[in-house]
Structure 1
Amino acid sequence: MTLTDTAAPSTSSATERERLVTVARELAPLLRSNAAQAETDRRVPQVNIDALRDAGLFDITKPARLGGSQEGFRTFLETVAELGRSCASTAWVATLSNVTSYTLGFFPEAVQREVMGEDPHVITCGVVTPTATTVRVDGGYRVTGRWGFASASHHASWANVGIPITDEAGDVLAPGMALIPLSDLTIDDTWYVAGMSGSGSDTLVADDVFVPDAHVLSVQDVMQGVTASEFQDESLYHSALVPVLALVLAGPVLGMAEGAYDTVLATLKKNKPISYSFYERSIDAPSTQLSMAEARSLIDQAKLLAFRSADEVDAAAAAGRQMSVVERARCRMDAAHAAKRCREAVEVLLNVSGAGSFAQANPLQRIWRDLETGSRHAFISLNINEEIYGRALLGIDEQVSPFV
């Protein structure tokens, strides 16, 4: 079975899947031409955002009954990877917005319509870490907090943020998620980084914001597939939450590695020589041939790992089955190793391209910095995910379950 032979998971429509991947690929010239500007501006150019909105690329996981595509996570990864080939920051923003829009399917229909009713192409953002304080009041909560690394926040109308669910005495009952309109939040300019600068992942701030009960869900419930939606037959929204949050990050990372490969391959085909050698064409050197084979294989390994887990998440959701702790931990492991393989591939490609890779005019140096940054997100941290997977394999479930 090859990468292209793998059957589409049952949660996806083949026609819509092909459309999303195709339109993402067709945006390559626009995204590539604006990639340097995204980094300079420290956010994705509006022309990119408008193009993605028009193409429905912020709607991959939204409920179909409200105008979304309601596609599975294999489609998600393939689509976002195409964006990442041309602009890592655009792909990252699309990823974080789409995974936040996926969480809309957990909420009651009235809340979904409140978010999507007037604009089915609405852009969302989110940060699941519960870095906030809450006070229980009549009908909801008063929320104060700061949520860092809020990718897509500059383009979003709603945010899904992590909060502690508390009782009237102030005791924490469970971690929660809260849907809040961006009009109730402010954005603190904090995102000054060496890589992924264009993602504009600044800090969301809430100052004593009222959040109604209907806009709050228990993360523990959602992790067990328990949602508040009236449409319990929508299998996508019963997908394993933590594996999803980890896996989606593999999409832009895969795209960055593919973009690096595309860039080096295009240079080699222009008959680039190897300086201080007798090779007038780099492609004639066995070292170049071996390195390109190694890089291609590493990227393919990364895709196989990521796509395997995406297919398993989709299949389990379609079957109405909760994945086991070991299966969920392996998804995190697959995403982490996919990221590692992509970093290794780009390191090989940099060696092929040589010191010229780091010229500011060369997109390789930006891809390298973006990949080194994005692939180290906590959800795809290799060391932690190896520890979680090892504990799951050894049956130490009580220490693993809250993180998978």
Structure 2
Amino acid sequence: MSVTTAIRPATFEKVDGPTLIQRARDLQPVLRERAANTEKLRMVDPKNVEDFQKAGFFKMFQSSYWGGYESHPADIFTVQEILAQACPSSAWIMGVVGVHNWQLAHFPKKAQEDVWALDPTVLLSSSYAPTGKVQAVEGGCILSGRWHYSSGIDHVDWVLLGGNIISEGAPFPDYRTYLVPKSDFEIVDDWHVLGLKGTGSKSLDIKEAFVPNHRQLPIIASQMLNTPGMHEGTASAPLFGVPFPTIFGACITTPALGAAQRMADLFIEATRTATSLYSGARWADEQVTQTRIAESLGEIRAARLQLRENFNEIMNALSNGEDLSLLQRAQYRFDHTNLVEFSQKAADRLFVASGARSLMVHQAFQRNYLDIQAARVHAINNRTKWGQIYGRASLDEFGDDLFSLFI
């Protein structure tokens, strides 16, 4: 009997989107209770990860070959936003760690067996910036050096690392994602930050780790949607036809949306009874306060609807066997950065309107504001960069560097 036959789930129940969305809502109270501890730990409370496993949130990204749900992305990111309304750091991990299940489905089946042979719920983290060294050798590559910002690394058994193989005369470096077990790296406890403190996005060191060829995924295969997993049947569902920058980017942007919604909810709740310390007038009676609420809720709603509509459009096209154009892919990438921009505008308006009370530390209102600021500085959320790429694409012009082609 082959290893794969022995370890794959014989039968499993696929949980639908509405059920998973309701499970996320049901978890909000406990996530809010643990949010301060998650921030103190500088990593997501392990109980939250356990709850996400039980709820099946990580399975939303996973291939049905391994018992995953292959959920519609609109449902995936509705779940993530709802979780972010309770704890943005935890929601960040749900998405950023969960999406690696999606990416692993594109690797050769042998690599998937390396990770999930004994337990298909094993989790992975990542660090895609090619900051370490890669040396090509017979049968694979040797990795060494330091990689940074690996969110959720305390909760995983494997990590996906980005690295370049430089070849003289090649137009681009041979960028690949390398699958490395926990036994080959050491966590560096250097995540001391202003926002998203609970993501535990620490660095990792590798002295010398051999990565066989089957644990490597070239970027060209991902960008051209021509991966081993697609050929071997583990990434055959429409979900796996979504470009990696599109689905990964949404994992990085959506927590800001949930955090902004939570700030709006808290502001509205406080405004109902708040009065001016100078005049005693009710804040709720002030036209400027009412307008600020309307503007902020409008921006949050616009971002949410845009995200959902984009993924409905994408999945309808993929389900009908249609390809996404490079222009569409550039548009979706820019739209995700706009989501963070809308969230930031809404949050900043409410933060300033709250006056001195917004300055008090160790409160949910400020924590969510700082988490949005932290999300804004992620490279994936660089609105200026992807605005330029989308603008050029609209003029039928495309960049000639790997970053510009990350759409």
Offset of residue 52 of structure 1 = 1.2
Offset of residue 15 of structure 1 = 5.7
Q: Which runs of 5+ in 1 are unaligned?
A: 1-12
Q: What's the counterpart of residue 243 of structure 1?
A: 246
Q: Distance in 1 between matches of 2:380 and 2:318?
A: 21
Offset of residue 165 of structure 1 = 4.0
Structure 1, 204-213 or 78-87: larger mean CA deviation: 204-213
Offset of residue 179 of structure 1 = 1.1
- Matched ranges for 1:126-165 at <5 A: 126-165=126-165
Structure 1, 317-326 or 215-224: larger mean CA deviation: 317-326
3-state SS in 1 of match to 2:400: helix
Offset of residue 354 of structure 1 = 2.1
AA matched with 1:259:
R
AA matched with 2:111:
V
Q: What's the counterpart of residue 91 of structure 2?
A: 91
AA matched with 1:144:
S
Offset of residue 145 of structure 1 = 3.0
Q: 1:226–1:238: 8 Å Cα contact kept in structure 2?
A: no
Q: Distance in 2 between matches of 1:136 and 1:170?
A: 15
Q: Which runs of 5+ in 2 are unaligned?
A: 1-12
Q: What's the counterpart of residue 4 of structure 1?
A: none
Q: Distance in 1 between matches of 2:129 and 2:21?
A: 30
Q: Distance in 2 between matches of 1:321 and 1:176?
A: 27
Q: 1:346–1:368: 8 Å Cα contact kept in structure 2?
A: yes
Structure 1, 381-390 or 346-355: larger mean CA deviation: 346-355
Q: Distance in 1 between matches of 2:335 and 2:279?
A: 40
Q: 2:15–2:69: 8 Å Cα contact kept in structure 1?
A: no
Q: What's the counterpart of residue 390 of structure 1?
A: 391
Q: Distance in 2 between matches of 1:150 and 1:170?
A: 29
Q: What's the counterpart of residue 211 of structure 2?
A: 211
* TM-score of the two chains, using structure 1 as the length reference: 0.91
Q: Distance in 2 between matches of 1:124 and 1:388?
A: 30
Q: What's the counterpart of residue 56 of structure 1?
A: 56
Which one of 261, 264, 270 corresponds to residue 261 of structure 1?
264
Q: 2:36–2:362: 8 Å Cα contact kept in structure 1?
A: no
Q: 2:257–2:300: 8 Å Cα contact kept in structure 1?
A: yes
Q: Distance in 1 between matches of 2:378 and 2:297?
A: 24
Deviations 1:322-372 (A, max 9, x none): 321211111111011110110111112223322101211431111111111
Q: Distance in 2 between matches of 1:183 and 1:267?
A: 49
Q: What's the counterpart of residue 274 of structure 2?
A: 272
Q: What's the counterpart of residue 10 of structure 1?
A: none
3-state SS in 2 of match to 1:71: coil
Structure 1, 141-150 or 128-137: larger mean CA deviation: 128-137
Q: What's the counterpart of residue 35 of structure 2?
A: 35
- Matched ranges for 1:219-234 at <5 A: 219-229=219-229, 230-231=232-233, 233-234=236-237
3-state SS in 2 of match to 1:402: coil
Alpha-carbon spacing, 1:169–1:391, altered in 2? closer, same or farther (3 Å): closer
Q: What's the counterpart of residue 376 of structure 1?
A: 377
Offset of residue 172 of structure 1 = 7.7
Offset of residue 191 of structure 1 = 1.3
Structure 1, 219-228 or 115-124: larger mean CA deviation: 115-124
Offset of residue 136 of structure 1 = 2.0
Q: What's the counterpart of residue 313 of structure 2?
A: 312
Offset of residue 274 of structure 1 = 2.6
| 1:177 maps onto 2:177 in alignment | yes
AA matched with 1:318:
S
Q: Distance in 2 between matches of 1:37 and 1:297?
A: 32
AA matched with 1:119:
D
3-state SS in 2 of match to 1:95: helix
Q: Distance in 1 between matches of 2:93 and 2:275?
A: 37
Q: 1:135–1:166: 8 Å Cα contact kept in structure 2?
A: no
Give me the identity figure in percent. 28
Q: What's the counterpart of residue 67 of structure 2?
A: 67
Q: 1:73–1:248: 8 Å Cα contact kept in structure 2?
A: no
* TM-score of the two chains, using structure 2 as the length reference: 0.90
Offset of residue 173 of structure 1 = 5.5
3-state SS in 1 of match to 2:228: coil
Deviations 1:113-164 (A, max 9, x none): 3212322222211122222222222221111132211001110111111122
Alpha-carbon spacing, 1:148–1:361, altered in 2? closer, same or farther (3 Å): closer
Q: Distance in 2 between matches of 1:398 and 1:374?
A: 25
Q: 1:73–1:313: 8 Å Cα contact kept in structure 2?
A: no
Q: 1:239–1:316: 8 Å Cα contact kept in structure 2?
A: no
Q: Distance in 2 between matches of 1:187 and 1:315?
A: 41
Q: 1:268–1:282: 8 Å Cα contact kept in structure 2?
A: yes
Q: Distance in 1 between matches of 2:43 and 2:15?
A: 32
Offset of residue 83 of structure 1 = 0.8
Q: What's the counterpart of residue 192 of structure 2?
A: 192
For the aligned residues, what is the CA RMSD?
A: 2.3
Offset of residue 192 of structure 1 = 1.3
